[in-house]
Structure 1
Amino acid sequence: MQISEILPSDGVKMLASTSSKKRLFQDLGDLAESCYGLAPARVVEALLDREGLGPTGVGHGVALPHARMEGLEQVRGLFIRLEKPLEFDSIDRQPVDLVFCLLAPDGSGVEHLKALALVSRTLRDAAICQKLRANGEIGTLHAILTEGPAIQAA
């Protein structure tokens, strides 16, 4: 699996700032609607439900919100880079500026976990995060995220 299989170029967005985690999830819902035709309210609800189990801020300014939803055929990704970091209740208590959202079919098990592992490994790479933070061009952000080789996830 490669990130290019789950993240289309129109699934990448830059935001100057956002006021809250819920507002960020609404932005992700709007992006999911434009990319995948999903109802924004359903996306927000699914992300908030998952977030209720524990924060998805994984540290070092990275968040990986994810949820399973009916109506999807395969795992789909969205990426938002925030110019102004957002408090996110991350494990290291640092604000978040790189947000990679995964939406998976309701019944997906292994594929969802493989995608989550792939994105997690990619965004644990300090050099990739540095490149993402240094660029504001949507096409460049997409290229940085998708240029790497396939990562074999468990």
Structure 2
Amino acid sequence: MDLSTIILPEHVFVGLPAPTKWRALQMLSSKAASCFGIDEATVLRALEGREKLGTTGIGNGVAVPHAAIAGMTRPRGLMVRFAHAVDFEAIDDVPTEWAFVLLFGEAGRSDYLNVLAAIARRLRTEGVLKAMRQAKTAAELYSVFMSEAIV
């Protein structure tokens, strides 16, 4: 799975201020709506609905809010580093530093699982999280996350 076709450099944001998980979802919905030309309220309802089923905080400072959005033809994503860690009620109770927002069409639920697996593999690569913490700009964060040369 080529994540660079799903998360584009212009869809990476650093320093997003979000005091709570629910405010984070609002801000992420706004960014997604702007980036993908879709209705913000629709995105927010979908992300909140998914979050009510159980946390998307996967641990290690990472959350992957995701939802199916009617009319989307392929998976799209955002990568965000929050200004301050947010309590996403993650499975390991570690506050969330990064969110990977994934939106996909109703028929693309299996695509989502492949994208999630690719993100998880990338985050498990030695040195990636450390390098992501050191990135100062969105461009650096994107480069670090997409790079194959991390050690």
Any idea what SS the aligned residue of 1:108 has?
helix
Deviating more after overlay: 95-104 vs 123-132: 123-132
Task: Give 1:117's aligned amino acid.
Answer: A
Residue 95 of structure 2 corresponds to residue 95 of structure 1: yes
TM-score, structure 2 length as denominator? 0.92
The change in CA–CA distance for 1:135 and 1:111 in structure 2 (over 3 A counts) is same
The 2-side partners of 1:73 and 1:6 are apart by 12
CA distance in 2, matches of 1:102, 1:36: 11
In structure 1, give the amino acid aligned to 2:49.
Answer: D
Aligned CA-pair RMSD: 1.5
Q: Are residues 1:73 and 2:73 paired?
A: yes
CA distance in 2, matches of 1:12, 1:109: 23
Partner of 2:43: 43
Amino acid at match of 1:139: A
What corresponds to 1:23 in structure 2? 23
CA contact (8 A) 1:66 1:102 kept: yes
With structure 1 as the length reference, what TM-score do the two structures score?
A: 0.90
Indicate if the aligned counterparts of 1:3 and 1:145 stay in contact, CA closer than 8 A.
no
Give secondary structure in 1 for the equivalent of 2:53. Answer: coil
Shift of 1:15: 2.0
SS at match of 1:71: coil
* Aligned AA (1:136): K
State the number of aligned residues. Answer: 149
Percent identical across equivalent pairs? 33
2:102 is equivalent to residue 113 of structure 1: no
Displacement of 1:124 after TM fit? Answer: 2.9
Q: 2:132 and 2:29 mapped to 1: Cα distance?
A: 22
Residue 136 of structure 1 is matched in structure 2 by 136
Following the alignment from structure 2 to structure 1, what is the Cα–Cα distance between the partners of residues 47 and 126?
Answer: 26
**Structure 1 residues 4 and 16: CA distance shift in structure 2, 3 A:** closer
Higher helix share: 2
Secondary structure at 1:82's aligned position in 2? Answer: strand
Once structures 1 and 2 are overlaid, which stretch shifts more, 82-91 or 140-149? 140-149
* Residue segments in structure 2 that go unaligned for 5+ positions in a row: none
Match of residue 5 from structure 2? 5
Take 2:16 and 2:47, find their aligned partners in 1: how far apart are those partners? 21
